[in-house]
Amino acid sequence: MENIENITKTFPSEVTFDRVYSAYNGKQGCMCGCLGNYAYASEHREFASKDRGYIVDDDEVSNSKVKRRFNAIQKHAGPFIVGETYVYVESGDRCFAVYFK
């Protein structure tokens, strides 16, 4: 499946917190985890493990981090890059993303 990206000025209303399984916070440049980290929602842990190809460990699960990052992105002025399964935004030298089902 091809991932189509759109640039929008507002956070997409169809992306609700209950759909978010992972959130990233890090410096711009690379999103493999070397410049930041991912947090995973406990209720989507099994899906996230399958999606990334290996098990999400206990220390990676943090509903509070996922919620904080989701709220921060949602309140951001944009622009947002929106793909089929993610929303990405840059702020200063940092980038944030939420991944959803």
Average pLDDT, the chain: 94
Q: For residues 73 and 33, what is the distance between their CA atoms, to the nearest angstrom?
A: 18
pLDDT at 5: 85
Quote the pTM value.
Answer: 0.91
At 14, the amino acid letter reads: E
Taking only the tens place, the pLDDT of each residue in 70-84 is 999 999 998 999 999
Taking only the tens place, the pLDDT of each residue in 38-78 is 999 999 999 999 999 999 999 999 999 999 999 999 999 98
- Going by C-beta distance under 8 Å and a sequence separation of 6 or more, which residues neighbour residue 71? none
